[in-house]
Structure 1
């Protein structure tokens, strides 16, 4: 049966055209990023979200990437050690450098409390990353220096290597600064937003996108009729759950892609499943595998 849903490549980690290039060493992003647009469209925030509390998600980072032309990109990511960040591979594939902003719920405001900007020195997309299928859509960024850990900056825990963490039917917590709906008039959110999202069996995403785009390395998340979930600008951002076996919150996914028809039409969204990449992260400089 012919699928009616068209896959939007880099759907949730958009390229944003700007009037003038942003050099990554320039820390003043607030006024410039607010006016980012793609073909005249502006962007808002995560679907169905509410503002996060101060220091509630100290692992959440914003990533602003550049290729030193008139195009820059905005994505989410998460701190997994004092010097490493994970995000989607498609967030960095078209760029040559990234600025990572940590410690604040307002990365577009360089004078916000806790704001700290650090640049990456090593960019490691997964070697099997497939931009056509958005498979192996994960990348590791090594920062130029360790960030100072404190109540506003803390790495998120990754799942243990051999954990029996069944996600089907669970509720995950998503955070980000992306769109709130498909209205072309709007801006990136000033504040970090959070929303609970239902994790469903991958067959739900197979039904929407076809089997070629889904495998065991991905996680399917329902959008409750397009009322909750990630949207443009949220790519690479973290999905966390509480692991009752060990009594800890762990990151289980990062935002990968959605439907070309829009974020509010009700189709599910697809996340990279982190349990498939724990050893790869450790082998490339990330935190050691926890057993």
Structure 2
């Protein structure tokens, strides 16, 4: 069964694409067939990190029906077992997709011939990014030790939780309306507010309350702290995990701490993965551990959610 691994960040500049490319290569070297998908719609650059020229039909071409299926867009890289579906930053309009198009992309990727599919998502909390992130129970959230990066990572997580809650119920259902009203309030305004919503849903339909509670339990995002420079940065992932548990009742897993590496910029200039250029670096060692940890935690299934035709949170 294919395991989808979305890679997201609350803001740009945290090294999300760098991690996706190097993680893909590390996983391939461990024997996994990996497809990396550039879903940073309107700003794709994953190809640059893996050394593939941006001249092929990718996600944009598929959306505009220049390719009949995503399989036609899969490109080999120079590395065995590692493949790429590029983005199309030169094609306008791909940054805002209808919900059914996102679902179609996810279904085709779930049926692809691969062990792992890495989704390099756009920065921020747009519905495109959040919906692709919710294609798996345990996507990666990349952050750094900077306060703005931490705040944006937490903001992204809240948006993903709200979106999951909303899409746990059919459109026009009374349960979705209740979630919609709840999301419009300040979730952190009082202790147990999320449980108040669950209690209200139980009162309307016990099965609905149990369904939402189970979805929230299964959602366990994984934090990767990148460009770490100090012991204080090392504690960021744990702090984000504690805040998430306390404020919105979501467990997060602190998966990895990747140190700052001066060679990262040179790797991009040379269009080569950092672990290829500096195999003996601390970054490469930690990245290898990250890949091993991820393999041991892979999950094939993802959420079964309802259409997202209500586009407000």
- Range of TM-score over shorter length: under 0.3
More strand as a share of residues: 1
* Greater radius of gyration (CA): 2
TM-score, normalised on structure 2?
A: 0.25
More helix as a share of residues: 2
TM-score, normalised on structure 1?
A: 0.26
